[in-house]
Amino acid sequence: MLKGFRDFILRGNVVDLAVAVIIGAAFAAITNSLVSDIINPLIAAVIGKPDFSAIVWHVHLFHAAQDLAPGAKPDATAGAIQVGKFLNNVISFLLNAAVVYFVIVLPMQKLLSRFKAPEAVTTKACAQCLSDIPLAATRCKFCTQPA
């Protein structure tokens, strides 16, 4: 039983996934710092607020008098939808996605394309009608001329 579990854990995919999750968590901390320490001050310089967290949409809730204790006031945050915090998280996500794409995905695609073998030619042009026909064809299926 333990041997099967050990074989499962030591397979390349599981170890690679664990490393990717750990590096991803550290990378998220870096991009969150980028958003809070660099981008938000730029937003503050343009808009006048440090970030979007002050943007709140208030939904008016009607409380019945019997729901409240005598002399108590309704909670001011009960009907607040934190739109600004959501926008901050969207900015952070988009930065994470952009950095992962431009720093990891794009260079890996370029590197792998160098080692990719060229595709084998499977068709040839018909001398009569210039349509593509398979290499093994003896006649063109469009104009019936010998290939």
Confidence check: pLDDT of 50 > 70: yes
Q: 136 and 81 in one domain? A: no
Compute the average pLDDT of residues 4-17: 75
Number of domains in the chain: 2
Report pLDDT digits (tens) over 35-47: 788 887 887 788 7
Q: 126 and 102 in one domain? A: no
**What's the confidence (pLDDT) of residue 127?**
84
CA dist 96 → 7, 28, 31, 46, 50 (Å):
33, 7, 6, 23, 20
Whether residue 2 lies inside any domain: the answer is: no
Tell me if residue 3 falls in helix, strand or coil. Answer: helix
Compute the average pLDDT of residues 26-43: 82
Quote the pTM value: 0.53
Residues found in the chain: 147
Q: 125 and 102 in one domain? A: no
Q: 25 and 46 in one domain? A: yes
Q: Domain of 27?
A: 7-116
Least confident interval from 8-12, 62-66, 75-79, 116-120: 62-66
> Is 60 exposed, middle or buried, given 0-12, 13-18 or 19+ CB atoms closer than 10 A?
exposed
